[in-house]
C-alpha cells in the first residue's frame, strides 16, 4: 500500500476525534489502520502498519516475515521555521525510513510525548517517520542448495589453514572464508561454525550484475537512470537506489535467476522480498567477484570494467574489510553489515589485484553479540593472513598465459591480426588466417593527426587486443576493441608524449601480470610504464639505453622462456636486434640481422601462424605495398623461410 503525505495527519485527527467525541459509557471507535512503505538499511523495502494514533499509544508493526518493529518511532524533517527536527527511534536493530513525507501541526501530533520532547519545534513539521526493526535469525530459510556447496569446482583447504584456524579460534562468532584464483578453477574455503550468512549490502554487486544482464539481454548499454542508481548503490551503499534497482530487475525472482547464471549455486533470495536477507555462502561470493576479475560469459567487457571502476572508488568510510593487507587502491570491494537477533552480520568481498597472483576473496561473519567493529577486525585479520600467504595459493611464479588474449589478436580467435591506417585517418583491420590476412575493414576514422599507432595488448581481459594511438598534440589514447571488432571511444591516458621517438606496447616485461608501455627518448633511453586493467598509466622506471642505434622498437612475446616479454629494435641502416628483459634492464639476446632497410615498414604484430614456438612473427612491407611474413624463432630471431602476404597494404601509411 502506498503511503501519502496526509495519511498520518488524517489518522491522528480521526482517532483523536473518535476518543473525545464518544459519549459516556460508549465504547470508543475502533482505531484506524494504515500502511506506510519504508526502506530498511541493509535489508530492503517493507510496509509498517500503523494502528491508532502514535502520539497517544498507537502501534507500529510489520505483519509478515522476519522483521519486527521495536522501541518507539522517530522522525526526521524540519519545522515551519526551517529548523532541522531529528528524533532517533529507540531500540536496537536496523533503521527503516518512510518513503514519503508526513505533515502535522506539531511534532507532538506525530510522536509519543517522550519522543516529541526530544525535539521541540516551532509549529508545523514536515518529514519522514523512522523505525527500528529487529531481524529474527530463526526466521531465516535454509535453502536446499546449502548442502551442495561449490558444485562447479571442488574447493580445497587453504595451504595456510593452520594459521587461519589459530587466528579465528581466538575470535568470537561464525566465519566463512573463500578464496579463488580467477581463470584457473582453483578455490579454497575455510569455515568456523558456518559459512552461510545473509548478504546485507554485498548483494548489491549481484543486483548490479542483474541490471547489466538485463540491459545486455535487451541489446543496449546501461541507461543513464540505471547508472544514476548503480553508482551510489556501490560506492555509498545507498539503500534507496538499491531498492529502486531491485524492483527494476524484478525482485527476488531476479536474484534467484541471476544466481543460477552466475554459478552461485548456494545463493537464494529472501521469500519476503528483502534484498539484504538473501542467503549465501562465502564460496558463492568469491565466484561472483571472479565475473569481474576475468572475462565473463554473462557480463560484457564494458559492464565489467564499469563495475570494477565503482568498486575501486568506495566511499572512504566504507573502505575496510578485505582491503586490509594489500596496497591501497588495489582491491575492488563491497561490504555489508546488518544487526540481527544473534548479533552483527558483517561481510566483505573483493578482488585483490596487486601483482601475481591476484585472487578473489569473501569473508562472511555472524553470531557475534558484540560490536560491529569486532567483526570488521576479524575480517581484516583474515585478509592480512591471505595477503601475506598469497604465494602459497599454488602455480608457478609466472602469470598464467591465458590470463589475457594473445597480443595482436583482435577477434579472439587465437591468431594475430593486422591493422593499419590510411592517409585520411581511417583505421582498418585485416583478419589473420594463420598464413595471410583478409581484406581491409574500416573499424574507426578521424585519426589523420595520429603520429603513432600500435597494439596495447588485451587491456580489459576480454581476449581481444586493444589499440593505442598518439595524437598530434602528444596525447596518448586507448581504444578498447568491441565484440564486433570496432574500436571504442578514445580515452586519454597520458599527455606530453609528442617528443618520444617511438613507443612499444602490448607485453609484460616484468612478469607481474600487468601490461606495459615503453617509450624511446631522443638518445635511445627507454622508460617503462605500467597499464592497469582500466587503462590508467603509471611510470615505473628507466630501463637503460638498449636502443641507442635502433629508432624503431617493438615489444615481442617472451623469447627466452623466463615469463617476461622482450624488446626488438630496427635501426635506420637495416639492422635488427632483440633484447631480453630482466624486469629492470635489458640483455642482448640475438645476433643482428641485416637488410631490413629495403622495407618501408617492419613490425611484429604477434604470433601469426600459432606456431609451437609461440614466438611473434615479423611482417615487412615493401615500398610498393607488397608484404612478406618471416616466422619468429626461439631466442628472438627469425627463420630463413618466409611467405608473401596480402598485396593490399600499399594504401596504408601506417601498419601494426
The model's pLDDT over 189-237, given as tens digits with 9 standing for 90+, comes to 999 988 889 999 999 999 999 999 999 999 999 999 999 999 999 999 9
Can you read off the three cell numbers belonging to residue 321? 574489510
Helix (H) or strand (E) holding 496: none
Helix (H) or strand (E) holding 257: helix 252-261
Span 367-402, pLDDT tens digits: 877 788 999 999 999 999 999 999 999 754 444 444
Q: Is the pLDDT of residue 150 over 60?
A: no
User: 427 and 472 in one domain?
Assistant: yes
| pTM flag (> 0.75) | no
Average pLDDT over the chain reads 85
Can you read off the three cell numbers belonging to residue 151? 558444485
The answer as to whether 618 is a domain residue is yes
User: How far is the CA of 487 from the CAs of 293, 315, 464, 482, in angstroms?
Assistant: 22, 32, 11, 6
User: 124: buried, middle or exposed (CB in 10 Å: 19+, 13-18, 0-12)?
Assistant: middle
Q: Does residue 363 contact residue 379 with C-beta atoms inside 8 Å?
A: yes
Q: Is the pLDDT of residue 92 over 70?
A: yes
Q: Tell me the three state secondary structure of residue 8.
A: helix
User: 611 and 537 in one domain?
Assistant: yes
Confidence (pLDDT) at 356: 79
> Using N-to-C axis directions, what is the helix angle for 372-388 and 161-169, rounded to 10°?
160
- Residue 21 or 61, more confident: 61
The residues, ordered by sequence, that sit 6+ positions from 510 with a Cβ below 8 Å of its Cβ are 516, 528, 540, 564, 581, 583, 584
Confidence (pLDDT) at 22: 35
Last residue of a domain, one of 75, 100, 135: 135
User: 484 and 387 in one domain?
Assistant: no
User: 223 and 82 in one domain?
Assistant: no
Last residue of a domain, one of 135, 170, 197: 135
User: 422 and 389 in one domain?
Assistant: no
Least confident window among 325-329, 375-379, 407-411, 567-571: 407-411
Helix (H) or strand (E) holding 154: none
CATH value at residue 527: 2.120.10
Confidence (pLDDT) at 591: 64
User: 244 and 311 in one domain?
Assistant: yes
The answer as to whether 103 is a domain residue is yes
Tell me phi and psi for residue 206, to 5 degrees: -65, -40
Helix (H) or strand (E) holding 113: helix 113-116
379: containing domain: 161-394
What's the average model confidence in pLDDT over 551-577? 87
Q: Tell me the three state secondary structure of residue 370.
A: coil
The strand pairing partners of 540, in sequence order, are none
Confidence (pLDDT) at 329: 86
Confidence (pLDDT) at 656: 76
Q: Does residue 498 contact residue 519 with C-beta atoms inside 8 Å?
A: no
The answer as to whether 442 is a domain residue is yes
- Residue 15 or 655, more confident: 655
What's the average model confidence in pLDDT over 509-519? 89
The answer as to whether 625 is a domain residue is yes
Q: What is the 3-state secondary structure (H, E, C) of 193-254?
A: CCCEEECHHHHHHHHHHHHHHHHHHCCCCCCHHHHHHHHHHHHCCCHHHHHHHHHHHCCHHH
Confidence (pLDDT) at 528: 93
Q: Is the pLDDT of residue 154 over 70?
A: no
DSSP single-letter state for residue 615? P
Q: Is the pLDDT of residue 145 over 50?
A: no
User: 427 and 292 in one domain?
Assistant: no
Query: Please, which pLDDT band fits residue 354 given cuts at 50, 70 and 90?
Result: confident
Span 397-436, pLDDT tens digits: 444 444 577 888 888 888 888 888 888 999 988 888 877 8
Distance CA 447, CA 422 (A): 9
Q: CA 5 from chain center: how many Å?
A: 39
Q: Is the pLDDT of residue 7 over 60?
A: no
User: 456 and 353 in one domain?
Assistant: no
Nearest to 324 by CA among 256, 280, 384: 384
Last residue of a domain, one of 394, 428, 452: 394
Domains in the chain: how many in total? 3
Confidence (pLDDT) at 148: 39
Helix (H) or strand (E) holding 16: helix 7-21
Q: Is the pLDDT of residue 333 over 80?
A: yes
The answer as to whether 310 is a domain residue is yes
The answer as to whether 448 is a domain residue is yes
Q: Is the pLDDT of residue 565 over 80?
A: yes
Q: Is the pLDDT of residue 142 over 60?
A: no
User: 178 and 81 in one domain?
Assistant: no
User: 94 and 219 in one domain?
Assistant: no
Confidence (pLDDT) at 63: 87
Distance CA 555, CA 537 (A): 17
Least confident window among 21-35, 82-96, 490-504: 21-35
Identify the sign of the CA torsion 422, 534, 489, 487.
positive
Span 264-291, pLDDT tens digits: 999 999 999 999 999 999 999 999 999 9
> Using N-to-C axis directions, what is the helix angle for 203-217 and 282-293, rounded to 10°?
50
User: 174 and 100 in one domain?
Assistant: no
Q: How many residues does the chain have?
A: 656
User: 187 and 77 in one domain?
Assistant: no
Residue identified by cell 508526513 is: 102
Nearest to 416 by CA among 619, 603, 606: 606
Q: Is the pLDDT of residue 260 over 80?
A: yes
What's the average model confidence in pLDDT over 461-476? 92
The answer as to whether 4 is a domain residue is no
User: How far is the CA of 634 from the CAs of 43, 560, 620, 628, in angstroms?
Assistant: 59, 7, 19, 20
Q: Is the pLDDT of residue 16 over 70?
A: no
Tell me phi and psi for residue 478, to 5 degrees: -110, 135
The answer as to whether 11 is a domain residue is no
Amino acid at each position: 500500500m502506498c503511503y501519502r503525505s496526509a495519511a498520518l495527519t488524517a489518522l491522528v485527527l480521526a482517532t483523536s476525534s473518535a476518543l473525545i467525541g464518544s459519549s459516556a459509557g460508549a465504547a470508543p471507535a475502533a482505531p484506524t489502520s494504515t500502511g506506510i512503505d519504508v526502506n530498511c538499511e541493509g535489508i530492503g523495502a517493507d510496509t509498517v502498519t500503523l494502528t491508532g494514533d502514535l502520539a497517544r499509544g498507537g502501534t507500529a508493526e510489520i505483519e509478515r516475515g522476519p522483521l519486527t518493529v521495536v522501541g518507539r518511532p522517530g522522525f526526521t524533517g524540519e519545522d515551519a521555521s526551517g529548523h532541522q527536527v531529528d528524533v532517533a527511534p529507540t531500540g536496537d536493530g536496523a533503521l527503516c525510513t518512510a518513503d514519503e513525507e508526513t505533515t502535522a501541526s506539531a511534532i507532538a501530533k506525530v510522536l509519543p510525548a517522550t519522543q516529541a520532547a526530544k525535539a521541540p519545534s516551532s509549529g508545523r513539521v514536515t518529514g519522514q517517520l523512522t523505525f527500528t526493526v529487529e531481524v529474527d535469525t530463526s526466521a531465516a530459510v535454509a535453502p536446499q542448495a546449502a548442502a551442495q556447496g561449490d558444485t562447479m569446482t571442488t574447493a580445497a583447504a587453504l595451504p595456510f589453514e593452520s594459521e587461519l584456524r589459530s587466528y579465528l579460534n581466538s575470535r568470537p562468532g561464525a566465519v566463512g572464508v573463500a578464496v579463488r584464483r580467477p581463470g584457473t578453477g582453483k578455490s579454497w574455503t575455510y569455515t568456523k561454525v558456518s559459512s552461510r550468512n545473509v548478504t546485507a549490502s554485498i548483494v548489491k554487486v549481484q543486483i548490479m550484475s542483474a541490471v547489466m544482464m538485463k540491459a545486455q539481454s535487451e541489446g543496449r548499454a546501461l541507461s543513464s537512470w540505471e547508472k544514476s542508481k548503480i553508482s551510489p548503490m556501490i560506492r555509498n551503499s545507498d539503500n534507496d537506489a538499491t531498492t529502486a534497482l531491485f524492483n527494476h530487475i524484478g525482485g527476488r525472482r531476479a536474484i534467484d535467476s541471476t544466481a543460477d547464471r552466475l554459478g552461485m549455486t548456494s545463493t537464494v533470495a529472501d521469500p519476503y522480498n528483502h534484498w539484504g536477507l538473501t542467503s549465501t555462502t562465502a564460496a558463492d561470493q568469491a565466484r561472483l567477484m571472479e565475473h569481474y576479475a576475468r572475462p565473463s560469459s554473462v557480463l560484457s567487457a564494458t559492464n565489467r570494467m564499469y563495475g570494477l571502476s565503482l568498486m575501486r572508488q568506495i566511499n572512504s568510510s566504507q573502505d575496510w574489510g578485505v582491503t586490509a593487507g594489500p596496497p591501497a587502491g588495489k582491491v575492488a570491494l563491497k561490504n555489508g553489515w546488518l544487526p540481527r537477533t544473534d548479533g552483527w552480520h558483517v561481510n566483505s568481498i573483493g578482488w585483490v589485484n596487486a601483482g601475481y597472483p591476484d585472487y578473489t576473496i569473501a569473508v562472511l561473519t555472524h553470531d557475534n553479540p558484540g560490536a560491529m567493529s569486532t567483526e570488521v577486525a576479524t575480517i581484516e585479520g583474515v585478509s592480512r593472513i591471505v595477503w601475506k600467504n598469497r604465494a602459497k595459493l599454488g602455480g608457478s611464479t609466472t602469470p598464467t598465459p591465458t590470463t589475457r588474449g594473445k597480443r595482436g589478436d583482435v577477434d579472439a580467435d587465437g591468431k594475430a591480426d593486422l591493422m593499419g591506417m590510411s592517409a585520411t585517418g581511417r583505421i582498418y583491420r585485416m583478419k589473420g588466417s594463420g598464413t595471410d590476412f583478409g581484406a581491409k575493414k574500416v573499424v574507426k576514422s578521424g585519426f589523420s593527426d595520429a603520429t603513432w599507432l600500435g597494439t596495447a595488448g588485451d587491456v580489459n581481459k576480454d581476449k581481444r587486443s586493444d589499440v593505442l594511438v598518439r595524437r598530434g598534440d602528444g596525447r596518448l589514447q586507448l581504444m578498447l576493441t568491441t565484440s564486433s571488432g570496432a574500436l571504442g571511444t578514445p580515452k586519454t591516458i597520458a599527455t606530453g608524449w609528442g617528443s618520444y621517438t617511438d613507443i612499444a606496447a602490448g607485453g609484460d616485461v616484468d612478469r607481474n601480470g600487468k601490461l606495459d608501455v615503453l617509450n624511446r627518448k631522443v638518445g635511445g633511453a627507454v622508460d617503462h610504464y605500467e597499464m592497469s586493467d582500466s587503462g590508467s598509466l603509471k611510470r615505473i622506471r628507466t630501463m637503460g639505453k638498449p636502443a641507442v642505434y635502433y629508432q624503431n622498437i617493438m615489444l615481442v612475446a617472451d623469447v627466452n622462456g623466463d615469463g617476461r616479454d622482450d624488446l626488438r629494435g630496427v635501426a635506420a641502416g637495416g639492422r635488427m636486434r632483440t633484447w631480453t628483459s630482466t624486469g629492470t634492464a635489458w640483455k642482448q639476446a640475438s645476433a643482428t640481422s641485416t637488410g631490413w632497410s629495403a622495407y618501408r615498414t617492419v613490425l611484429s604484430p604477434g604470433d601469426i601462424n600459432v606456431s609451437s614456438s609461440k614466438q611473434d612473427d615479423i611482417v615487412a612491407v615493401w615500398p610498393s605495398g607488397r608484404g612478406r611474413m618471416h616466422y619468429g624463432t626461439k631466442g628472438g630471431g627469425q627463420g630463413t623461410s618466409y611467405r608473401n602476404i596480402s598485396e593490399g597494404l600499399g594504401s596504408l601509411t601506417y601498419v601494426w
